[in-house]
Structure 1
Amino acid sequence: LVPPNSDYVGYHDYIDKNLPPETPHLYGLHPNAEIEFLTKAAERIFRVVLELQPRDSGAEVGDAPSREETLTTLLEDLLDRMPDGFPMAELYARQAPEERSPYAVVVLQECERMNILLEEMRRSLKELRLGLRGELTVSAAMEALINAFFLDQVPASWERYAYPSLYPLGLWFADLLNRVKELDVWSQDLGLPGSVWLGGLFNPQSFLTAVMQQTARKIEWPLDKICISVEVTKKTREEMGSAPREGAYVHGLFMEGARWDTAAGSIVDSRIKELAPPMPVILLRAVPSDRQEGRVAAMYACPVYKTKIRGPTFVWTFHLRTKEKPAKWILGGVALLLQV
């Protein structure tokens, strides 16, 4: 109905009385979307409050450690836990270039990128330690590092060489150690692991392309006539053994906006307060594009992103089975995430 002629306050009263309140259902979203929205809003408020806290503490209270002592403790802890880089010359010598599979190329590239990140972290931490000891003048780069540490953020100089991540510094560093461990195991024989942690890669797209390249080499298909076929298994990472004969198993994905029903083998509505449930292990295989076209018509083209930011962190599109119309999941913004 058209509202009657009124003033500004009258229109507000009309809206409050006659229009339905904004709820996630109004926009086709699950109630969990409101939980996520309010959580992010609260985090932003706490972040602003933290940034407003004074950086310099002139008079310390009781036996509380000084700012410099706190920073030194964190600095030494990070340096003590810093992993060694990968011996690239040794890794490259294990296989002749013509013998390397696409998977071996991926892991070598990942190790190289990890070495660059680790070297930058080690260099900046050692430089900051010298600055705190008075052996070097504290530069703008060191100040930026100090501020990031006190805000529990990943320094911008590290992010430049790293992968997209929304983790605070503590979780980010723990995640980094897990990534190094995963690459270390994979690089031992350069073969395909039983299951690959897709989110643990700097460039997940390169691994998905490697799946297609491996098949293209084996049966001599042109790469532009191949696409990725997705099969969600009923197994977890711990239940996996060796790699499949065709394709590759991947794990470490999470679904936001819905969940995967293992028994039904399809996408279903989320449970309340279950914001990003983990996916089972997924089997990726390369198949002819024309064979895939008919199968995916009734499937949901689920976008895969590296983080909850989505947009610029897009990785791939996985076609997943659904008993509902795909439009429902499109409206609900259902996506797969590599990190939550």
Structure 2
Amino acid sequence: LREIRQSLKELDGGLKGELAISSEIEILQECFYLNIVPAGWTNRAYPSLHSLGLWFHDMLNRYREIENWTADFQLPNSVWLGGLFNPQSFLTSIMQAVARKQDWPLDRMCLVVEITKKQKEELQSAPKDGAYIHNLFIDGARWDKQNNLLIEGKLKELCPPMPIIFVKAIPIDRLDAKGTYDCPVYRIKTRGNTYIWHFHLKTKEKPSKWVLAGVALLLQI
């Protein structure tokens, strides 16, 4: 936010004739004209494929989410995982909290997920252990809410939203991964170096089918 304020202040000064038009100001003007996010902003923010208008709206939503959370420092009923600047740290903190509570070694912990049938509005409180997360999308397949498992996607249905997901931590030796696909979770659709975790999703198909289809969960589309 500091970078945005400063660059906009310089742009305003340049347009008013109070400052010399630098190359940075010219680049900022061009970005506004082309509706793309200035590199100086994205370098200090988070991975995103949005145009400038959508990016700015998204950033304000993230700011409000964090502001509401820090108002009373209580875990929200459901966490917008993609709205966090470091979602991987949040997921790690779930394991840390349980490990500390149960006096279990952190390096022997893992996360498991339950895809619920709940709507965000139905949640009355945060879970005692773990967290509900929302606004995730699935790429390359879809989630069958009725049978609670991963199935093939519909034609022209790109990245359908996932239901509310309950994330909790357990010791690795209690993990039962049979009948699941080890689904990678990325921040954006281009994937690349935006990998943050993997969730075991129930399936009747062989996991290799979803691997070949490149199925993944996304925090933003």
Q: Give the TM-score band, short-chain normalised.
A: over 0.9
Q: Deviations over 1:122-149 (max 9, x none)?
A: 1100111000111101111111111111
Inter-partner Cα distance in structure 2 for 1:233 and 1:207: 20
- In terms of fraction of residues, the more helix-rich structure is 1
SS of aligned partner of 1:230:
strand
**Alpha-carbon shift at residue 241 of structure 1 (Å):** 1.9
1:54-65 alignment runs, 5 A limit: none
Distance across 2 between alignment mates of 1:256 and 1:296: 21
Corresponding residue of 1:307: 188
Matches within 5 A, 1:103-122: 118-122=1-5
CA distance in 1, matches of 2:118, 2:143: 13
In the alignment, which residue of structure 2 is the partner of 1:252? 135
TM-score, normalized by length of structure 2? 0.98
CA distance in structure 2 between the partners assigned to 1:143 and 1:314 by the alignment: 34
- Residue type of the alignment partner of 1:265: N
Say whether residues 1:135 and 2:15 are aligned partners: no
Unmatched 5+ residue regions in structure 1? 1-117
**Which residue identity is paired with 1:336?**
L
Q: Which amino acid aligns with 1:316?
A: W
Q: Give the equivalent residue in structure 1 for 2:101.
A: 218
- For 2:148, the equivalent position in structure 1 comes to 265
Q: 1:3-26: CA deviations, max 9, x gaps? A: xxxxxxxxxxxxxxxxxxxxxxxx
Which one-letter code corresponds to 1:204 in the other structure? P
Q: Give the root-mean-square deviation of aligned CA atoms.
A: 0.8
Please show how residues 144-159 of structure 1 align to structure 2 within 5 Å: 144-159=27-42
TM-score (norm. length: structure 1):
0.64
Q: Deviations over 1:197-239 (max 9, x none)?
A: 0000111000000100110111111100100011110112222
Count of matched residue pairs:
221
Any residues of structure 2 matched to 1:1-340 within 5 Å, and which?
118-292=1-175, 295-340=176-221
Task: Say which one has the larger Rg.
Answer: 1
- Supply the distance in 2 between the matched residues of 1:264 and 1:298 (Cα, whole angstroms): 14
The one-letter code sitting in structure 2 at the alignment partner of 1:167 is: H
Q: Which runs of 5+ in 2 are unaligned?
A: none
Q: How many Å separate the matches in 2 of 1:279 and 1:236?
A: 11
